[in-house]
Structure 1
Amino acid sequence: MQRVNSAFQYCDQLVRDFEKVIKKPILNKSSVYYTGVDLGTAYIVLAVLDENYQPVAGAYRFASVVKDGMVVDYIGAIRIVKELKQELEQKLGTELIYAAAALPPGTFSLDSGAIKHVVQGAGFEITNLLDEPTAANAALKIKDGAIVDIGGGTTGISILKEGKVIYVADEATGGTHFSLVIAGAYKLSFDQADQYKRDFKNHRELIPVLRPVIEKVSSIISRHVTKHQVKEIYLVGGTCCLEGIEDIIAKQTNLPTYKPQNPMFVTPLGIALNCTQEIL
């Protein structure tokens, strides 16, 4: 279900602008650049904004350095972030200094040090570290409801009341589990299943196959939102690119469920919007 409101208009425009600058960066000089580093289970995304927090460049790469929201290949993560940083610096003709990063809610005590060190190891000064759904809300601008970030490894939930986060949770079910189900159903390797899932042409055919996993994600969401009397759900994260996922979640949770234009880029853009020049 697509929702047309001021928040989604801002978010969708931001995503559209970002998609353009990935292909063709804006080379006008800015007094400062703010970078959002999103270390996902499936993709690492870097989003660069100018002094006015407008997208000027971006890059992403498929990676398997994070599992269930935790960094499992520390050296690999640093290498990829450093390479993406250098690629963007070359395109923009400037050094990227400041970056913000995020991690699944509820994992700060376990993994915040690793994420911070990856970003610093790649050559950035880290200025902010926050949870992924809260970061996404900088782009969504939701006042009330649940932001659900369905990534490759985990489903993160942030519940907002009057613009403030009152509850966060994270559970290990996400796009990886979708790929495993496809691999089993179609007798494919995990990588082949993952590629099959990413092709929009296959989504209608895959919905019946993936319905049990989507229903599991829906039950996770329901368990966390019912006690907080949430009235609306907003989906972000790469796994939400699956066409029709919002309809099943809406039906299972009995709550209106919305997603912006390209849910994969909402969190990295939100992270970049939280970047400052004040080093942590």
Structure 2
Amino acid sequence: MTNQYLEQANRNLLIIDEIVNDETAIDTPTDWYVGIDLGTADIQTVVIDGDGTPIAAFLDWADVVRDGVVVDYVGACRIVRDHLEKVQHKLGVQVEEAITSYPPGTDPRISINVVESAGIVVSHVIDEPSSVAALLHIENGAVVDVGGGTTGTAIIESGELVTSLDEPSGGRHVSLAIAGGMTVDLEQAEIQKRRSHEDPLVAAMAKPVIEKMSDIVAEHISDHQPGSIYLTGGGTLIAGFAEIFRKTFPELDVVELSRALYLTPLAIASYGLAIRDEE
């Protein structure tokens, strides 16, 4: 992979961080693509223009998906509809289709049904780590996507996806460890997790769970030689995450991105560009 794709992704992630949940109207570009990510801890919608630059982004923290299964269908549908209404207001257009994703090993119809409940068509669906691999143009490497409920690994060799695996261990499991260690409820534990960089005690409680995630990834890549590991997903933002992975995989290049929380929805939307270029 050349650095240009990684650098461009980092720039676009910083743009998303600046515009997320900003409903200010903008001039609509000729081409634009909508990506919707149904995560365990949040639902995100990202819109990019024909050059791949983010022009709209909306995020709601939500406990509506568990391990790739929608446990609050009505709540998930409501958030997606709300995001699409905000996109339509911001861009001054009618959204008719979007791209979505799913955790490896789960039924993509789950995500498709939620998105299409908003009255639009899902034009394409791709598993989450594979969308990141496509965005970064990875030739040989592994994408590790740590969401709220799962850790997914996509292994790419010679530019082709050879396997995509998923295990039920993610940010929610870190929150459960924090809740138990601090004797607080799960909601408070989530808040504490997000400030793990400020509190060494929280980072210490998260460490065993992150080590388990690194063991999961080690098993995923045991029959392959990826060379590099690319970290994505909000779970990778926990203090010490990358350091633990570097200790587990000293022979590999562990790559972090600027705002990994937004990487998967950016990659989902950007998949529209890849499809366009193939046509």
TM-score computed with the length of structure 2 as normaliser: 0.91
Residue 9 of structure 1, aligned match among 7, 10, 34:
7
SS of 2:95 mapped into structure 1:
coil
Residue 135 of structure 1, aligned match among 131, 136, 156:
131
**Corresponding position: 1:38 with 2:37:** yes
**Corresponding position: 1:247 with 2:243:** yes
Offset of residue 38 of structure 1: 0.2
Distance 1:73 1:136, change over 3 A: same
TM-score computed with the length of structure 1 as normaliser: 0.91
Describe the superposition over 1:30-52 as per-residue Cα deviations: whole angstroms up to 9, x where unpaired: 22431100000000000011233
Query: C-alpha root-mean-square deviation of aligned residues, in Å?
Result: 1.9
Partners in 2 of 1:90 and 1:248 — Cα distance?
A: 43
Offset of residue 203 of structure 1: 5.1
Q: In the alignment, which residue of structure 2 is the partner of 1:90?
A: 89
Check whether the contact 2:25–2:89 (CA below 8 A) recurs between aligned residues.
no
Q: In the alignment, which residue of structure 1 is the partner of 2:177?
A: 181
Offset of residue 14 of structure 1: 1.3
Residue 189 of structure 2, aligned match among 189, 193, 204:
193
Residue 267 of structure 2, aligned match among 267, 270, 277:
270
Partners in 1 of 2:183 and 2:262 — Cα distance?
A: 31
Between 20-29 and 243-252, report the one with greater CA deviation: 20-29
Counting only pairs closer than 5 Å after superposition, residues 53-202 of structure 1 correspond to structure 2 as 53-107=52-106, 111-199=107-195, 201-202=197-198
Partners in 2 of 1:102 and 1:162 — Cα distance?
A: 23
Partners in 1 of 2:111 and 2:156 — Cα distance?
A: 25
Partners in 1 of 2:66 and 2:195 — Cα distance?
A: 22
Partners in 1 of 2:98 and 2:76 — Cα distance?
A: 15
Describe the superposition over 1:17-42 as per-residue Cα deviations: whole angstroms up to 9, x where unpaired: 22223247571222243110000000
Which aligned segments of 4 or more residues in structure 1 are displaced greater than 4 angstroms?
Answer: none
**Corresponding position: 1:215 with 2:214:** no
**Corresponding position: 1:227 with 2:226:** no
SS of 1:116 mapped into structure 2:
helix
Check whether the contact 2:47–2:56 (CA below 8 A) recurs between aligned residues.
yes
Distance 1:203 1:245, change over 3 A: farther
SS of 1:228 mapped into structure 2:
coil
Amino acid in the other structure paired with 1:234:
Y
Partners in 2 of 1:173 and 1:87 — Cα distance?
A: 32
Check whether the contact 2:144–2:152 (CA below 8 A) recurs between aligned residues.
yes
Offset of residue 264 of structure 1: 0.9
What stretches of structure 1 of length at least 5 have no aligned partner? none
Partners in 2 of 1:244 and 1:105 — Cα distance?
A: 25
How many residues matched?
Answer: 272
| Identity level (%) | 35
